[in-house]
């Protein structure tokens, strides 16, 4: 049985879509969505453990990232959500547990909102879209002319210097090497003009110089009927862990797990702990089956409360 991730490709709406998959073709679907400038490779260390338990694990390269196409087009959360829905349909999966990291968390929330009938469980990992605060670097990248500065961030010398600083901080007890490595890998991808354009277009739909523009906390009540897990690295320098704690308070039936020694990439820092937690969460919860009447009732209750 194929436990190691395999990189595959297909064409959807005329665009090349790359995705990694592991496990049987007919198991319960687990869809893993990466963050901005990242790729499906970020999940490589957790996919085998999930596949070993019989899950069909699918991790796409979002458009504009990795080996997927980088067209001029729509890079909104809604467009990304629709693209994942289309990939699921093409692969024959009606429903899935959605796991989203950083930008991917925003995409997963948008997908659960647009297509609730397809969402069995929702897992957010150091997710965007839950508060205004975000790193200065990402806010600066939304400024006019940022696209002309980004090639400097992708320069090999600067990337290597960042890694050297990260190694030094690790040696003195500050565990940031994973964050530095993952961000350096993402920045290195921006040497391609089409990747830079996709990055800027994506970023400006969700962030401006003041912080995150998209805030899903006003819709989290819609997760009431969906098993909901929030995972965060306590040392996240990009999106503060407080966002996860606030989301947990807003959804009383949610579960929050904080990885005390992890940064923005807890699934990379502690892949075994992460995969064990995810498997435990799935085993202890029943897949949601959101009926149209439940959706209408939730919206009607929220509308009535707002009017009062």
Out of 38, 40, 102, 275, the active site residue is 102
pLDDT tens per residue, range 43-86: 999 999 999 999 999 999 999 999 999 999 999 999 999 999 99
Q: Is residue 164 part of a domain?
A: no
Q: Is residue 20 part of a domain?
A: yes
| pLDDT beyond 90 at 268 | yes
Q: Is residue 174 part of a domain?
A: no
What's the confidence (pLDDT) of residue 179?
A: 63
**Spatial separation of the C-alpha atoms in residues 280 and 131, rounded to whole Å:** 28
Sheet of 56-60, strand order: 6-12, 15-22, 56-60, 29-33, 96-101, 119-125, 228-233, 255-259
Q: Is residue 232 part of a domain?
A: yes
CATH classification of the domain holding 46: 3.40.50.1820
Q: Count other C-beta atoms under 10 Å from residue 197's C-beta.
A: 18
Out of 264, 267, 269, 275, the active site residue is 264
Structural domains of the chain, count? 1
Q: Decide if 248 is catalytic.
A: no
Q: Decide if 102 is catalytic.
A: yes
Q: Is residue 43 part of a domain?
A: yes
Between these two residues, 251 and 187, which has the higher pLDDT value? 251
Q: Is residue 201 part of a domain?
A: no
Average pLDDT in the 258-286 region? 96
Q: Is the pTM of this model over 0.85?
A: yes
State the chain's mean pLDDT as an integer: 86
| pLDDT beyond 50 at 157 | no
What's the confidence (pLDDT) of residue 154?
A: 46
CB burial class (10 A; 0-12, 13-18, 19+) of residue 237?
middle
Average pLDDT in the 255-276 region? 96
What are the phi and psi torsion angles at 265 (to 5°)? -125, 65
Q: Decide if 236 is catalytic.
A: yes
Average pLDDT in the 131-149 region? 80
pLDDT tens per residue, range 171-205: 434 444 566 677 666 666 677 888 888 988 999 99
Instruction: State which H helix or E strand residue 208 sits in.
Output: strand 207-208
Q: Is residue 159 part of a domain?
A: no
Instruction: Tell me the residue range of the domain where 223 lies.
Output: 6-133+212-302
């Amino acid at each position: 049985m194929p436990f190691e991730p395999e990189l595959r490709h297909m064409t959807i709406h005329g665009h090349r879509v790359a995705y990694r998959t592991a496990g049987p073709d007919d198991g319960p679907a687990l869809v893993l969505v990466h963050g901005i400038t990242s790729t499906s490779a970020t999940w490589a260390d957790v996919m085998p453990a999930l596949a070993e338990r019989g899950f069909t694990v699918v991790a796409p390269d979002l458009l504009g990232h990795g080996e997927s196409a980088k067209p001029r087009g729509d890079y909104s959360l809604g467009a990304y959500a629709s693209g994942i829905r289309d990939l699921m349909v093409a692969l024959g999966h009606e429903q899935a547990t959605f796991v989203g990291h950083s930008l991917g968390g925003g995409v997963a929330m948008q997908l659960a909102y647009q297509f609730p009938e397809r969402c069995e469980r929702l897992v957010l990992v150091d997710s965007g879209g839950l508060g205004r605060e975000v790193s200065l670097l990402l806010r600066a990248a939304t400024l006019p002319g940022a696209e002309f500065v980004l090639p400097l961030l992708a320069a090999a010398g600067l990337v290597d210097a960042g890694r050297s600083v990260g190694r030094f901080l690790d040696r003195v007890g500050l565990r940031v090497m994973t964050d530095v490595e993952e961000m350096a890998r993402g920045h290195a991808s921006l040497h391609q003009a089409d990747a830079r354009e996709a990055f800027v277009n994506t970023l400006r739909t969700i962030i401006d110089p003041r912080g995150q523009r998209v805030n899903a906390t006003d819709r989290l009540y819609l997760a009431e009927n969906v098993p909901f897990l929030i995972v965060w690295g306590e040392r996240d320098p990009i999106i503060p862990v407080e966002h996860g704690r606030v989301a947990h308070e807003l959804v009383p039936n949610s579960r929050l797990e904080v990885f005390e020694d992890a940064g923005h990439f807890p699934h990379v820092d502690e892949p075994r702990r992460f995969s064990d937690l995810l498997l435990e969460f799935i085993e202890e919860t029943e897949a949601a089956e959101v009926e149209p009447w439940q959706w209408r009732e939730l919206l009607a209750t929220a509308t009535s409360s707002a009017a009062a």
